[in-house]
Amino acid sequence: MEFNKEFDASGLACPLPIVKTKKALKDMTPGEVLRVISTDPGSVCDMAAFAEQTGNALLEQGSENSKFVFYLKKA
Amino acid sequence: MATKKMALIATKGTLDMAYPPFILASTAAALGWDVQIFFTFYGLQLLRKSLDSIKISPLANPAMPMPVPMPVFVQMLPGMESMATMMMKDKMKKKGVASLQELRDICLESDVKFVACQMTVDLFDFQNSEFIDGIEYGGAATFMKFAGESDVCLFI
């Protein structure tokens, strides 16, 4: 999937993947896509909860090279 | 959708108990919530300019995992608290856990409101100059005003 910006949260533990994802989205324009990479298994549930509560759509999620990957569309 | 609100009371000043309020507050702020933390009693330590004196003790904390079993009379020895704190911080760093300083900074950047309990500030003879800037001082009524409108309210 195409994306406009990438944020690598590898190695970070809760709540940093979410808190820093929020920061990464801050200077993006609505409609742009952020790709987030994480190694925290908790971030799978957390990212979905973040998307639901903030309105930034979670377009796709999966895993690559045993890491978690998320695509968020800025609201 | 109306902005959600979370009100926290932080009453503890040990390393382990300092994390929950800052983790919840920074996360809620990232979700767009309005957050206020009321710091009282030992929780006031979390507002000091330097967080370096925040420690964890294995003493009277039997649930704390130790690398080797340690009898209570050993845990009482001078330096044990500092050693346990150093080991815990080291472990946290290795596991990618944010430092307290980092989480507190994130809270401040994301407009989490910190309120220091005036009664306990006076009780422990703290000077306002010992605390970080940008905090408010108030009492139970100040907390109740925000807590009464909150969606989530926790005592930590």
- The answer to whether position B130 is within a domain reads yes
The CA distance from B124 to the nearest CA of chain A, in Å, is 32
> Is B17 part of any domain?
yes
For the stretch B21-47, pLDDT in tens is 999 999 999 999 999 999 999 999 999
- Give the pLDDT confidence of B123-152 residue by residue, as tens digits: 999 999 999 999 999 999 999 999 999 999
Å from A47 to nearest chain B CA?
Answer: 11
- Name every residue in B having a CB less than 8 A away from some CB of A: 23, 26-27, 30-32, 95-98, 103, 106
Residue B21 belongs to domain spanning: 5-54+101-155
- CATH code of residue B110: 3.40.1260.10
Residue type, B72: V
State how many domains chain B has.
Answer: 1
Residue ranges per structural domain of chain A: 5-73
Contact A53 B32 (CB under 8 A): yes
Active-site annotation holder among A4, A11, A13, A14: A14
Q: Residue type at B18?
A: A
* pLDDT recorded at residue B56: 94
Interior angle at CA B112, CA B109 and CA B116, nearest 5: 120
Residue with tokens 């609201």: A75
- Is the separation of the CB atoms in A20 and A48 below 8 Å? no
ipTM of this predicted structure: 0.89
Long-range contacts of A66-69 (CB under 8 A, 24+ apart): A67/A10, A67/A37, A67/A38, A67/A39, A68/A37, A68/A38, A68/A39, A68/A40, A68/A41, A68/A43, A68/A44, A69/A35, A69/A36, A69/A37, A69/A38
Cis peptide before A17 (omega within 30 of 0): no
Q: How confident is the model at residue B67 (pLDDT cuts 50, 70, 90)?
A: confident
Q: Is residue B142 part of a domain?
A: yes
Asked if the structure places residue B129 within a domain, the reply is: yes
Architecture of the domain whose range is A5-73 = 2-Layer Sandwich (3.30)
